[in-house]
């Protein structure tokens, strides 16, 4: 008797069945842990997805409170994403060559379908990004989020601030109109301003960092086609890459440093709120417990404490983030509908704009530059950046971390710093505007003295001394940090307002643009 062999499968049949299964298999291979419909599958979905896994699977309730972050970090990212998408759209038409650049922007503005809206969105999202980044920095500072173990991430944040400003500034040249041309001329000469010192010392011939910086920035000895190519390269390629890399590190670090900063008694504070007890911590038993690789440094890992007061990131955190994204988009859209991005006449290298003003967030610096190019443009900003970067390494206290202004004693201190921080620049500016400065009093004064003693350096010194005095007065390094940062914000605000609203033709002080001389 011959054994009955199993019937060989019909290969064609199998092929057809496989073909039919392709959509299902495609879905299954893309989302290996099944549709994210339960807490467990949502968790596996989050840590199985390369983009989502920058988030932890569960988020502490404290992080989701409105007052913890105000969504400012996500708002910065959202503005960046809007600028990224609209920027790529603009690249379809933009030509980075003098005159052609101006014509192409005109085309985008007047001819290209939706071109004006896209350009407005790009411009407004860039502005919103600068504002959001500065406010986000203030939030991180005033909740002391820079402290251990987040010191390094504070430095990453300062790097992101610098790259954000760099992106805005390089974008300012691209339309090649009068506004752009003269702002870049001023910017490039600020890069050259170390010559103010090397010239005064008579060593420019041998040691000329200023000239090198300008040459590298412009690729030539004047603002022309070479400069436009370089600014374009920086704006669409180099700086976005640096920004993306820094952003990756910044977000990764948030997670590795234990999520959002929160006060030591956050759980106790949350327990007082009624409705939050209703959401079950786990809707099903965890399929996976922490193993060694899941342990991170910091005090916020949940090992040994259970996941109290955390909720699944998906959907709670993601909805919050999407909400902020939509809000940012709405704000950009509304602003774009009511206010067009400016475009002045074609760049004319022989007739400067009068007044020639940089983008608003640089007008504070321009105000300082109007006393000394080197100190206002390079010296003081460098001191400010180093000062901000040192804060987490000098303030190593732990009390009040995660609390706005560090708890009850903080606000009066900040209020006092606000008064000092606002009065000091107003006073110094008043003297400089009313009575002039050293050169008018002593026409033969050496340039080095003007570089060393001017409103920019005096203001920096006043702020530094005030911070040191605060450390002594309150016997707390944190007090000094609060004073320093508050002063920095106040100085930025006052100088920006003076530069924006009170400076007219020839950088003369006017109470309002209505008083500007007619010509």
Sole binder of another protein in the list 174, 190, 347, 490 (CB under 8 A): 190
Cβ-based neighbours of 296, under 8 Å, separated by 6 or more: 255, 256, 257, 258
Binding window for another protein (CB under 8 A); candidates: 25-33, 145-153, 222-230, 270-278:
222-230
Binding flag, residue 354, another protein (CB under 8 A): yes
Count CB neighbours of 323 within 10 A.
Answer: 12
Cα 109 to its chain centre, rounded Å, is 27
Question: Cα(399)–Cα(358) distance, rounded to whole angstroms?
Answer: 41
Binding flag, residue 17, another protein (CB under 8 A): no
Sole binder of another protein in the list 57, 140, 186, 317 (CB under 8 A): 186
Closest approach of another protein to the CB of residue 234, in Å: 11
Nearest to 281 by CA among 310, 313, 316: 310
Sole binder of another protein in the list 107, 151, 199, 397 (CB under 8 A): 199
* Interacting positions 451-490 with another protein (CB under 8 A): 451
Nearest to 148 by CA among 484, 501, 395: 395
Binding window for another protein (CB under 8 A); candidates: 100-108, 321-329, 347-355, 380-388:
347-355
Closest approach of another protein to the CB of residue 506, in Å: 5
Cβ-based neighbours of 202, under 8 Å, separated by 6 or more: none
Closest approach of another protein to the CB of residue 236, in Å: 17
Give the CA distances from residue 413 to residues 185, 261, 459, 474, 509, in Å, rounded to whole numbers and listed in that order: 42, 22, 20, 9, 33
* Interacting positions 489-518 with another protein (CB under 8 A): 505-508
- Number of helices and strands in the chain (H, E): 23, 2
Closest approach of another protein to the CB of residue 73, in Å: 33
Binding flag, residue 200, another protein (CB under 8 A): yes
310-312 and 58-60 strand pairing: antiparallel
Per-residue x/- track, 241-280, another protein (CB under 8 A): ----------------------------------------
Question: Cα(61)–Cα(312) distance, rounded to whole angstroms?
Answer: 10
Binding window for another protein (CB under 8 A); candidates: 18-26, 54-62, 69-77, 186-194:
186-194
Question: 3-state secondary structure string, 408-473?
Answer: CCHHHHHHHHHHHHHHHHHHHHHHHHHHCCHHHHCCCCCHHHHHHCCHHHHHHHHHHHHHHHHHHH
Binding flag, residue 2, another protein (CB under 8 A): no
User: Would the CA dihedral through 360, 101, 352, 518 be positive or negative?
Assistant: negative
Nearer CB in complex with another protein: 234/343: 234
Give the CA distances from residue 265 to residues 98, 261, 269, 415, in Å, rounded to whole numbers and listed in that order: 60, 12, 6, 26
Nearer CB in complex with another protein: 256/439: 439
Nearer CB in complex with another protein: 281/449: 449
Q: Tokens 């950046």 — which residue?
A: 385
Binding flag, residue 447, another protein (CB under 8 A): yes
Sole binder of another protein in the list 38, 222, 283, 398 (CB under 8 A): 222
Cβ-based neighbours of 1, under 8 Å, separated by 6 or more: none
Give the number of residues in contact with another protein, rule: CB under 8 A: 46
Closest approach of another protein to the CB of residue 371, in Å: 5
Task: Report yes or no: 328 and 75 within 8 Å, Cβ to Cβ.
Answer: yes
Sole binder of another protein in the list 443, 514, 518, 519 (CB under 8 A): 443
Binding flag, residue 436, another protein (CB under 8 A): yes
Nearer CB in complex with another protein: 10/440: 440
Q: Give the tokens for residue 385.
A: 């950046």
Binding flag, residue 237, another protein (CB under 8 A): no
Sole binder of another protein in the list 102, 182, 463, 466 (CB under 8 A): 182
Residues lying near another protein in the complex (CB under 8 A)? 182, 185-186, 188-190, 193, 196, 199-200, 212, 215-216, 219-222, 224-226, 230, 349-356, 366, 369-373, 436, 439-440, 443, 447, 450-451, 505-508
């Amino acid at each position: 008797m011959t054994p009955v062999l199993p019937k060989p499968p019909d290969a064609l049949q199998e092929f057809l069945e496989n073909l039919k299964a392709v959509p299902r298999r495609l879905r299954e291979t893309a989302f290996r842990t099944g549709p994210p419909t339960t807490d467990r599958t949502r968790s596996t979905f989050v840590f199985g997805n390369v983009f989502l896994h920058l988030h932890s699977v569960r988020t502490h309730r404290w992080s989701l409170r409105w007052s913890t972050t105000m969504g400012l970090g996500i708002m910065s990212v959202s503005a960046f994403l809007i600028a990224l998408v609209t920027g790529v759209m603009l690249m379809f038409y933009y030509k980075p060559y003098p005159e052609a650049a101006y014509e192409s922007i005109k085309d985008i503005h007047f001819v290209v379908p939706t071109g004006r809206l896209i350009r407005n969105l790009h411009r407004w999202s860039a502005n919103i990004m600068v504002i959001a980044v500065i406010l986000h920095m203030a939030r991180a500072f005033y909740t002391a989020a820079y402290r251990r173990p987040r010191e390094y991430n504070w430095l990453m944040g300062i790097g992101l601030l610098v790259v954000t400003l760099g992106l805005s500034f390089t974008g300012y040249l691209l339309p090649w109109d009068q506004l752009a041309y003269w702002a870049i001329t001023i910017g490039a000469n600020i890069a050259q301003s170390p010559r103010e010192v090397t010239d005064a010392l008579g060593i420019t011939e041998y040691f000329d960092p200023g000239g090198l910086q300008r040459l590298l920035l412009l690729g030539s000895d004047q603002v022309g086609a070479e400069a436009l190519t370089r600014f374009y390269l920086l704006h669409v390629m180099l700086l976005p890459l640096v920004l993306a890399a820094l952003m990756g590190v910044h977000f990764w670090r948030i997670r590795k440093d234990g999520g959002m900063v929160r006060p030591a008694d956050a759980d106790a504070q949350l327990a007082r709120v009624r409705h939050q007890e209703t959401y079950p911590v786990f809707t099903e038993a965890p399929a996976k417990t922490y193993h060694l690789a899941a342990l991170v440094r910091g005090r916020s890992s949940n090992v040994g404490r259970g996941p109290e007061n955390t909720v699944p990131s998906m959907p709670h955190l993601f909805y919050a983030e999407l909400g902020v994204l939509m809000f940012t988009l709405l704000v950009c859209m509304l602003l774009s509908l009511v206010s067009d991005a400016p475009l002045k006449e074609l760049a004319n290298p022989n007739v400067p704009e009068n007044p020639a003003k940089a983008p608003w967030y640089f007008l504070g610096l321009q105000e300082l530059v109007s006393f000394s190019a080197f100190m206002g443009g390079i010296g003081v900003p460098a001191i400010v950046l180093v000062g901000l970067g040192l804060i987490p390494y000098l303030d190593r206290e732990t009390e009040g971390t995660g609390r706005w202004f560090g708890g009850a004693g903080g606000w009066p201190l900040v209020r006092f710093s606000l008064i000092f921080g606002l009065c000091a620049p107003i006073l110094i500016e008043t003297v400089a505007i009313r009575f002039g400065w050293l050169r008018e009093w002593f026409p033969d004064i050496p340039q080095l003295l003007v570089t060393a003693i001017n409103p920019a350096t005096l203001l920096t010194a006043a702020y530094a001394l005030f911070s040191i005095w605060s450390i002594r007065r309150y016997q707390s390094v944190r007090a000094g940090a609060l004073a320093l940062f508050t002063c920095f914000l106040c100085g930025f605000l006052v100088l920006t307002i003076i530069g924006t609203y009170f400076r007219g033709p020839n950088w003369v002080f006017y109470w309002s643009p209505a008083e500007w001389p007619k010509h």
